[in-house]
Amino acid sequence: MTARRTSAGSEDTTPLPTGAAKRAAVKDMFDAIAPRYDLVNRLMTGGLDQRWRRRTLDALGLPAGSRIVDLGSGTGDFVRLARRAGHQVMGVDLSWEMLAAGRARGALVAVQADAELLPIADASLDGLVSGFALRNLRDLAASLGEAARVLRPGGRLALLEVAQPPPGLLRFGFGLWFDHVVPAIGGLLSDRAAYRYLPKSVAYLPDEAGLRTLLQESGFATVGRRLLNGGLSQLITATRTGLPASATTGRLG
């Protein structure tokens, strides 16, 4: 992974882990920050993350009673929102400690699993949501292929991720906040190293065209993207078409 230029313009040359090292690092990091993850999240976003999650769930456009999985569910924000909307929902996360924190808050039905190998039957779900998890996946293409496998034809995908505002004052302010204030808040209340990783992890994300291509190659169509709150975050939606050529059968469900 090459060096990236932060939103505020300074260069960060610290290498980011890849492959199996990334998977292990991400799991250990989220296990460590689980106890105060929700508190830091609310402070980092000023509570906007909850509004963004509601918009993401609404973007699925699915009726009550739909079968949904929350990929990278963490402490279960999406799980609780989807359950209140009347959906059948299950959370999946690599971090056992994040799932345990979610269960303590009432986020029911969650399993520990890798996004690249979901314990879910083929074409058995109506929708999939994910909040700020894409950049933490070891292999994004493999994970999107697995998402396509478990969604029925016509099933919906809605992904919430960080973004960057267009050039201007908002981008400058966002850079100062995301690259400097957020790590300081995280270091004070939780784990400093984990929240230094957060701004750097944006480098894992492909650009809009690259993500669109990955989704289409994985078996999705009608890919859409909208910026939220001027580009502080982004919402990506897509509809599942046919089963990807690499899909297999016989998974648990």
Q: Per-residue pLDDT tens for 27-46?
A: 999 999 999 988 888 888 88
- Whether the pLDDT of residue 3 is over 50: the answer is no
* Boundaries of every domain in the chain: 16-164+205-240
Out of 15-24, 88-97, 101-110, 160-169, least confident range: 101-110
In this prediction, residue 13 carries a pLDDT of 61
Domain at 16-164+205-240, CATH homologous superfamily:
Vaccinia Virus protein VP39 (3.40.50.150)
In this prediction, residue 191 carries a pLDDT of 85
- Give 188 or 209, the one with higher predicted confidence: 209
Rounded distance, CA 88 to CA 162, Å?
A: 27
pTM: 0.86
Confidence of residue 198 (pLDDT cuts 50, 70, 90): confident
In this prediction, residue 246 carries a pLDDT of 46
Cα dihedral value 251, 56, 99, 97, nearest 10: 120
- Whether the pLDDT of residue 56 is over 60: the answer is yes
